[in-house]
Amino acid sequence: MLSSRPLRGMRVLDLTRLAPGPFASLLLVDLGAEVIKVEDPAFGDPARYGLPGQSSPGEGDSALFRLLNRGKKSITCNLKSVQGRVIMMQLIAGADVLLEGFRPGVMKRLGLDYEAALEANPRLVYASLSGFGQDGPCRQKAGHDLSCMALSGWLDLTGAADGAPALSAIPIADMASALWLALAVTAALLERERIGKGCYLDLAMLDSVCALMAVPVAEMMSGSSLPQRGDTMLTGKLACYNLYQTEDGRYMSLAAIEPRFWESFCSAVGREDWLSRQYEPEQRTLISEVADLFRGKPRGYWVELFSNRDCCCEPVLTLEEAAAHSQIQARGLWREGILHCPLGSCEGADAAAPRLGEYTAQVLAELGYTLEDVEALRSEGVV
């Protein structure tokens, strides 16, 4: 884990909402950056009120918002107002990074696009995060995580061989794009130190998902055969890499791809006759035999049996069980209101998520605005 604050002194203006952009800026917070979250005065980030259909506190303090926005400073600014755009350009002049997540063309219509920002601050790293990117035939289409998962081919490969494509409980496109965005911004800041000027970054959720598909794409490019749902090495084709139901209706995962792990597994269950069959062309019979084995005992038996065996066999835990697991607790990954970056978080990064506009007066004071100015702007709907 990092013991320092590599982005200390960097100011990030975050205009993004919901999950992808805020998760990216959360990672920048954990790396030491100061993140100013710019929100609409009337409503703020919709994530404040939870996901559709979920109940949330009336003060815009949903669990999702708290997790994704700890350690940030919220200011309100109406970008549709003339004075709001003036304030935004003043902020841009003193910032290191700007993150925006609008559809292509919106920032240009507001007069806040990269070209305008560049005039105010040539050292600015300006990053646009969108569903499909700033060019291409889909650039103006609406899209969410599921849209990008569908178009990437990922969904068609996910699920049982005899079933429909399976939905993921995790918004993979959202989270992947956040990781790519944080990486790109960090690299751009490093490059800025070498060349003395900022740059423009075009990040797309669809691109982010496609970039993660090395294994199935490599199989496709090999020309041997097209990967099929539930029939690839990682999706149920092999007995040694599969999910198995136990006697009590729970599940165990087996990931003994390497021969030494398969050997350890076979030895543990007393089935050395399976050793030579690990990669036999026809796997259905072996899968059935291994499934029968697991169905013969409850999950707790298998957990105990494999606890000291090096064979990559672990229980499929519920989210509640995972939160209580000793390894996750030892690493401090999930605590009440806090989602920790695997790199570790720096001092101040664990501060509570801000109330809507909590830091408006403080940040505007740095630009020369008095409390009376801020109150006047607030009464006019500018902040």
Catalytic residues: 144, 174
Task: Provide long-range contacts, Cβ within 8 A and 24+ apart, for 220-229.
Answer: 227/157, 228/157, 228/161, 229/156, 229/157, 229/158, 229/159, 229/160, 229/161, 229/163, 229/165
Q: From the CB of residue 308, how many other CB atoms can be counted at a distance below 10 Å?
A: 7
Structure-block tokens of residue 257: 């791809």
CA 138 to chain centre: 22
Q: Cα–Cα distance between 25 and 182 in angstroms, integer?
A: 7
Residue 125, beta-bridge partner list: 97, 199
User: Could you tell me if 112 and 99 are in contact, meaning their C-beta atoms sit under 8 angstroms apart?
Assistant: no
Cα–Cα dist 331/323, whole Å: 11
Q: Are 318 and 39 in contact (CB under 8 A)?
A: no
User: According to the 3-state scheme, what is the secondary structure of 327-362?
Assistant: HHHHHCCEECCEECCCCCCCCCCCCCCCCCCCCHHH
> Within 13 A of 177's CA, how many CA atoms are on the CB side?
33
What count of other Cβ atoms lies within 10 Å of the Cβ of residue 99? 28
d(CA 63, CA 56): 8
Which pair of tokens denotes residue 50? 């939870």
Please check whether residue 13 is in contact with residue 39, taking contact to mean a CB–CB distance below 8 angstroms. no
Residue 227 and residue 235: Cα distance in Å, rounded? 10
- The 3-state DSSP class for residue 315 equals strand
Alpha helices (runs of H) in the chain, residue ranges in sequence order: 20-30, 63-69, 82-93, 106-109, 114-120, 145-152, 154-157, 172-195, 205-210, 214-221, 259-268, 284-295, 299-306, 319-324, 326-331, 360-366, 371-379
